[in-house]
């Protein structure tokens, strides 16, 4: 062979494997309204099909009007169809109780990760100890470390506080930043709210603290708010970073550079396969924003069906629309299932010896601590994998259940965790929990645990 | 660092500015959507606001977007996709059985039977299998392994991924990538972004934009002085030039690639768009394998295809694939890892691709309508290609090579010295100056040749042949009149 491993881009070789190819295929569902509207947009002959609700057909007609040549097969502007960028801006204004939002600051991309990659690429500079660093929560979304590797940036970890339900701790942020400055140039902080995979939902005070910290330390703030529509913890509500920012006075609201991400691959939509998301850029240098569009150009444009679904996500059926009742029921069902599942899984896992979990307040995961027997930890060392990876492999082999290992979420404290997706039908969850318990109890029985 | 915080009063300079931004990004340009398109959009806005202009609409002949120019989608493809999106329609007897059968098969291969689910990063397995079968059929039985097929978000995604994989080294050792002049600017943008070394080889305008191996040799030899040439990119049929490589030429290129130890990237997205008498599409892989094991078991290659062009023109779906040939298994493992970073290509695009490689067969109900629509689209393009060449060649000062394939024409324009001087004063490339004038006076948006690369001292523009025939005739007429006027004005 002419090209061998030594000729492969070192950045590519440096990317750590991330096992998410067997993702939540169970989580897929399409709300009926979106499925119908997209079907009509794909095959406009259906505009005359009276078995489809009128509001669906009118919506499809409106959306086809904003597609070039009236076809979902045309390219669009690289940053997204203007009409849809405006829909998103309107949604943000409604959500944030009047805080202004402008279509020109909204950038649509093929999945929120693509948008994140663009921002990371723009930020990335330097090498060695001048390399750009990003403060990253531990645990973090399991795809994030790979993205940072790919962009050539340094991951500067800050620990979330497990015993406080995975809350953010300001002194820990300061410690992490100080440490990071010793070997790189930290210029941004990443946070997800609701937390991925922790399910922690930040309150106003916590968000303010982070914003103040970012402002004082001159860090660009990147906030993953993809699970904003699934908050179920008692007394919890989703607060957007932007909303809090704008209540902090001009000193902050006119200066803090904030990028927030949302996506179709959220809890209530679950339209991951359609690949569309958006980011809103606040207080970004306009000259830099020009390059955001240029970078998005290399993909030419985001898939149109995805963009249309985004429009449907941010502008759902209204009372009086034929689809309203079905839509409302579907969303309520998803939210109820999620809440129920979160509660059930948390109680169940906490009851198992050798496991402890913080209750999830939002999001689609339960992140549970594993207190593994020392024999298992030893075994893992010998075969050179993380102990939680070994646990998950054994679970897969013995029970056919695939769960995520905490080390994929960047866990570095030497503790072990399990990541369970709770966006599944309730009876599926019961099956999974039963199989997990069966496996786990067998394991504990064979190897007494080190501690509880 | 944070001297501002240490000072107490926070400086209001931004964290992310042009100065602190990734320096590679500044070099990224994409002419197809650059300054002239920005101006075109602005003019469109002004027209909507009622501003009076010498024209009533802007004709965007800058981008290869067939549907935007009024081409109709192929019925069968959209029927299946609608069924996939809303499976309740499977009960509707207005949909033909062959469409339903394909929809059921695709849905069965999707997670949770929904196109809303993520798929495997490399693409849905049964679709990759279908792609392999299509390739085997196209290439006269030469085997294709589904494991070597990577579905992608348009061909662009796969092209950028491959370049990313192959670029390494520092200084003198930095990877050099050979690309044609003129070229499709995705390549130069990607190379700038990756800080790879671009090695330009000139296509021969006087010989209908053909590729000459002596020119390839010249370019690679010169490049070895300052970089490590490792990749050769070919676009066939060509963009922007439309030339269709002869079989002999492809063989010569493969031989050259073997001698110079180059990885061949064959961009074949226009493979169905061949119009000229005596021209035929030859896939690089087919030619490679027909050259015998000395080549077919050693030359490393990736070929690319997409759902955006040909007779489908479904740009908005972002469907595509690449096939890798003779790749080192360890390198392939890195490639597989790299594609997993972006999760998966859009499932609607994958589904569409499946239909393209698995179209209605002669014994199926949708066959005759499908073939009729397909033939009509390709015939119309062929006609427009001929019309374009003919019309431009009647204009003194415009020389137009035959549009052998693809979707564009790239004629050479003679610009008076006064125009060149004026352009220079305004800080514009002369052909950009020309195109801007055309836009302002006639509302026609083209892309100047400088965006694609051209020999020093020559000027061109790229126009798509996609507008409907009547409109195209009008556009050609307007450009002819403009060119004469412009030449007079600047003599």
Average pLDDT over chain A, rounded to whole? 90
Residue ranges in chain B whose pLDDT is less than 70: 1-12
- What are A287-308's pLDDT values in tens digits? 999 999 988 987 888 999 999 9
The verdict on A127 touching B (C-beta cutoff 8 Å) is: no
- The residue whose two tokens read 């997409």 is B306
Token pair, residue B400, equals: 């137009």
Query: Are B116 and A17 an interchain contact pair (Cβ–Cβ within 8 Å)?
Result: no
Alpha carbons B5 and B1: distance in angstroms, whole number: 9
Tell whether B350 and B384 lie within a shared domain: no
Within a domain: residue B206? Answer: yes
Query: Are B28 and A304 an interchain contact pair (Cβ–Cβ within 8 Å)?
Result: no
Q: With bands split at pLDDT 50, 70 and 90, how would you rate the model's confidence at A21?
A: very low
The pLDDT assigned to B11 comes to 44
Phi, psi torsion values for B269, nearest 5 degrees: -65, -20
What value, to the nearest 5°, has the Cα angle with vertex A392 and ends A391 and A394?
A: 65
Tell whether B338 and B393 lie within a shared domain: no
The answer to whether the beta carbons of residues B346 and A110 sit under 8 Å apart is yes
The DSSP code sequence of B273-286 is -B-STT-----HHH
Q: How many domains does chain B have?
A: 2
Within a domain: residue B3? Answer: no
Tell whether B148 and B184 lie within a shared domain: yes
Locate the chain B residue with the closest alpha carbon to A79: B33
Closest CA to A290 of B29, B12, B255, B5: B29
User: Computed from CA positions of residues B234, B235, B240, B244, in that sequence, does the dihedral angle turn out positive or negative?
Assistant: positive
Closest CA to A87 of A294, A293, A239, A307: A307
Tell whether B225 and B319 lie within a shared domain: yes
Token pair, residue A424, equals: 């599944």
Q: Domain of residue B324: give its range.
A: 118-357
Q: Which of B357, B384, B403 is the last residue of a domain?
A: B357
Q: Which of B327, B357, B387 is the last residue of a domain?
A: B357
Within a domain: residue B166? Answer: yes
Give the CATH number for residue B319: 3.40.640.10
Alpha carbons B167 and B332: distance in angstroms, whole number: 15
The C-alpha of A437 sits at a distance from chain B's nearest C-alpha, in angstroms, of 25
Alpha carbons B396 and B476: distance in angstroms, whole number: 14
Within a domain: residue B11? Answer: no
The pLDDT assigned to A38 comes to 96
Interface test with A, best of B38, B239, B348 (most A CBs within 10 A): B348
Q: Which of B308, B335, B357 is the last residue of a domain?
A: B357
The C-alpha of A163 sits at a distance from chain B's nearest C-alpha, in angstroms, of 31
Tell whether B316 and B400 lie within a shared domain: no
The DSSP code sequence of B19-68 is TTS-HHHHT---GGGSHHHHHHHHHHHHHHTT---SSSS-EETTS--TGG
Tell whether B376 and B352 lie within a shared domain: no
Within a domain: residue B102? Answer: no
Tell whether B291 and B395 lie within a shared domain: no
Within a domain: residue B219? Answer: yes
Tell whether B441 and B294 lie within a shared domain: no
Tell whether B206 and B266 lie within a shared domain: yes
Within a domain: residue B14? Answer: no
- What are A92-118's pLDDT values in tens digits? 999 999 999 999 999 999 888 889 999
- What are B224-268's pLDDT values in tens digits? 999 999 999 999 999 999 999 999 999 999 999 999 999 999 999
Query: Are B82 and A35 an interchain contact pair (Cβ–Cβ within 8 Å)?
Result: no
Locate the chain B residue with the closest alpha carbon to A10: B168
Tell whether B427 and B471 lie within a shared domain: yes
> 3-class DSSP state for residue A370?
strand
Token pair, residue A415, equals: 């503790």
Contacts of B82 in chain A (CB under 8 A): 39-40, 42-43, 46
- What are A312-324's pLDDT values in tens digits? 999 999 999 999 9
Token pair, residue A306, equals: 């995805």
The pLDDT assigned to A267 comes to 61
Locate the chain B residue with the closest alpha carbon to A46: B82
Query: Are B25 and A273 an interchain contact pair (Cβ–Cβ within 8 Å)?
Result: no
Report which of residues A65 and A269 the model is more confident about: A65
- What are A327-352's pLDDT values in tens digits? 999 888 888 888 999 999 999 999 99
> 3-class DSSP state for residue B368?
helix
The pLDDT assigned to A19 comes to 45
Nearest to B21 among A73, A114, A288 (CB): A288
Q: What is the 3-state secondary structure (H, E, C) of A7-50?
A: HCCHHHHHCCCCCCCCCCHHHCCCCHHHHHHHHHHHCHHHHHCC
The pLDDT assigned to A285 comes to 95
Query: Are A27 and B117 an interchain contact pair (Cβ–Cβ within 8 Å)?
Result: yes
The verdict on A284 touching B (C-beta cutoff 8 Å) is: yes
Token pair, residue B469, equals: 């025939």
Tell whether B133 and B200 lie within a shared domain: yes
Report which of residues A406 and A172 the model is more confident about: A172
Locate the chain B residue with the closest alpha carbon to A149: B341
Within a domain: residue B108? Answer: no
Query: Are A294 and B2 an interchain contact pair (Cβ–Cβ within 8 Å)?
Result: no
The C-alpha of A283 sits at a distance from chain B's nearest C-alpha, in angstroms, of 9
User: What's the burial of B259, exposed, middle or buried (CB within 10 Å: 0-12/13-18/19+)?
Assistant: exposed
Rounded to two decimals, the pTM is 0.91
Give the CATH number for residue B450: 3.90.1150.10
Nearest to A122 among B16, B87, B156 (CB): B16
- What are A358-391's pLDDT values in tens digits? 999 999 899 999 999 889 999 999 988 889 989 9
Q: With bands split at pLDDT 50, 70 and 90, how would you rate the model's confidence at A268?
A: low
Tell whether B445 and B393 lie within a shared domain: yes
The pLDDT assigned to B12 comes to 56
Contacts of A68 in chain B (CB under 8 A): 65, 67-68
Residue A369 CB-half CA count within 13 A: 18
Phi, psi torsion values for A266, nearest 5 degrees: -95, -170
The C-alpha of B260 sits at a distance from chain A's nearest C-alpha, in angstroms, of 10
Query: Are B5 and A39 an interchain contact pair (Cβ–Cβ within 8 Å)?
Result: no
């Amino acid at each position: 062979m002419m090209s061998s491993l030594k000729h492969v881009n070192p950045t590519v070789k440096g990317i750590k494997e991330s096992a998410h190819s067997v993702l939540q295929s169970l989580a897929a569902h399409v709300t009926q309204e979106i499925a119908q509207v997209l079907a009509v947009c794909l095959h406009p002959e259906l505009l005359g099909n009276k078995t489809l609700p009128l509001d669906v057909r009118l919506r499809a007609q409106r959306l086809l009007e904003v597609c070039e040549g009236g076809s979902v097969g045309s390219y669009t502007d690289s940053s997204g169809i203007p009409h849809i960028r405006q829909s998103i801006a309107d949604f943000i204004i409604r959500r944030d109780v009047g805080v202004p939002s402008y279509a020109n600051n909204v950038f649509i991309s093929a999945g929120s990760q693509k948008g994140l990659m663009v921002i990371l690429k723009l930020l990335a500079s330097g090498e060695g100890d001048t390399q750009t660093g990003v403060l990253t929560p531990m645990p973090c979304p399991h795809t994030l470390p790979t993205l940072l590797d790919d962009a050539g940036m340094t991951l500067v970890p800050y620990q979330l506080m497990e015993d406080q339900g995975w809350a953010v701790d300001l002194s820990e942020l300061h410690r992490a930043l100080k440490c990071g400055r010793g070997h790189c140039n930290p210029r941004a902080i990443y946070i997800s709210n609701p937390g991925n995979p922790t399910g922690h939902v930040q309150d106003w005070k916590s968000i303010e603290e982070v914003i103040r910290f970012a402002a004082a330390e001159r860090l660009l703030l990147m906030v993953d708010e993809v699970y904003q529509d699934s908050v179920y913890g008692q007394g919890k509500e989703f607060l957007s970073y932007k909303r809090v920012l704008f209540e902090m006075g001009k000193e902050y609201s006119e200066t803090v550079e904030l990028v927030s991400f949302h996506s179709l691959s959220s809890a209530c939509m679950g339209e991951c396969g359609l690949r569309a998301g958006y980011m809103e850029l606040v207080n970004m240098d306009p000259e830099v924003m020009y390059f955001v569009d240029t970078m998005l150009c290399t993909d030419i444009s985001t898939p149109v069906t995805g963009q249309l679904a985004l429009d449907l996500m941010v502008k759902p059926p209204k009372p009086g629309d034929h689809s309203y009742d079905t839509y409302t029921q579907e969303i309520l069902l998803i939210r109820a299932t999620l809440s129920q599942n979160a509660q059930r899984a948390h109680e169940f896992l906490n009851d198992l010896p050798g496991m402890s979990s913080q209750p999830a307040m939002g999001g689609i995961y339960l992140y549970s601590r594993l207190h593994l027997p020392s024999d298992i930890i030893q075994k893992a060392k010998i075969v050179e994998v993380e102990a939680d990876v070994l646990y998950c492999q054994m679970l897969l082999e013995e029970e056919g259940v695939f769960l995520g290992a905490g080390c994929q979420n960047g866990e570095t404290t030497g503790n072990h965790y399990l990541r369970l997706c709770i966006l599944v039908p309730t009876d599926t969850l019961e099956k999974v929990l039963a199989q997990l318990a069966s496996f786990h109890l067998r394991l504990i029985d064979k190897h007494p645990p080190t501690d509880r | 660092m944070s001297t501002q915080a240490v000072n107490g009063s926070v400086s209001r300079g931004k964290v992310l500015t042009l100065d602190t931004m990734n320096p590679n990004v500044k070099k990224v340009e994409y002419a197809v959507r650059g300054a002239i398109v920005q101006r075109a959009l602005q003019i469109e806005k002004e027209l909507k606001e009622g501003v009076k202009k010498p024209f009533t609409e802007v004709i965007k002949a800058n981008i290869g977007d067939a549907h935007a120019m009024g081409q109709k989608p192929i019925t069968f493809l959209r029927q299946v996709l609608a069924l996939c999106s809303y499976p309740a329609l499977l009960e509707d007897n207005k949909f033909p059985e062959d469409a339903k059968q394909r929809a059921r098969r695709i849905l069965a291969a999707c997670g949770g039977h929904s196109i809303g689910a993520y798929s495997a990063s490399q693409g849905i397995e049964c679709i990759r299998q279908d792609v392999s079968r299509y390739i085997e059929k196209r290439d006269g039985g030469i085997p294709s392994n589904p494991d070597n097929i990577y579905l992608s978000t348009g061909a662009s995604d796969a092209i950028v991924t491959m370049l990313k994989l192959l670029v390494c080294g520092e200084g003198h050792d930095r990877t050099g990538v050979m690309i044609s002049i003129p070229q499709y600017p995705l390549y130069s943008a990607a190379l700038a972004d990756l800080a790879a070394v671009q090695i330009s080889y000139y296509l021969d305008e006087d010989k209908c934009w053909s590729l000459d191996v002596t020119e390839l040799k010249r370019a690679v030899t010169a490049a070895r002085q300052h970089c490590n040439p490792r990749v050769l990119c070919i676009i066939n049929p060509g963009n922007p030039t439309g030339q269709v490589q002869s079989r002999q030429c492809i063989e010569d290129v493969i031989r050259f690639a073997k001698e110079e130890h180059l990885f061949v990237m064959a961009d074949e997205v226009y493979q169905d768009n061949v119009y000229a008498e005596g021209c035929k599409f030859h896939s690089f892989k087919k030619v490679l394998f027909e050259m015998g094991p000395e080549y077919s078991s050693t030359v490393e290659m990736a070929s690319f295809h997409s759902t955006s062009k040909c007779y489908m023109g479904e740009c908005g779906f972002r469907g595509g694939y690449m096939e890798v040939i003779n790749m080192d298994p360890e390198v392939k493992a890195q490639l597989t890892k790299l594609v997993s970073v972006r999760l998966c290509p859009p499932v609607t695009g994958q589904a569409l691709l499946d239909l393209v490689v698995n179209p209605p067969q002669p014994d199926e109900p949708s066959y005759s309508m499908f073939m009729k629509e397909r033939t009509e689209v390709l015939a119309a393009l062929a006609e427009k290609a001929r019309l374009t060449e003919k019309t431009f060649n009647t204009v003194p000062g415009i020389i137009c090579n035959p549009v052998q394939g693809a979707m564009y024409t790239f004629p050479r324009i003679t610009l008076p010295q006064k125009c060149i001087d004026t352009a220079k004063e305004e800080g514009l490339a002369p052909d950009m100056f020309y195109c801007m004038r055309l836009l302002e006076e006639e509302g026609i948006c083209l892309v100047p040749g400088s965006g694609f690369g051209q020999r020093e001292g020559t000027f061109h523009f790229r126009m798509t042949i996609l507008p409907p025939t009547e409109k195209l005739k009008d556009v050609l007429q307007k450009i002819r009149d403009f060119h004469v006027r412009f030449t007079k004005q600047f003599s």
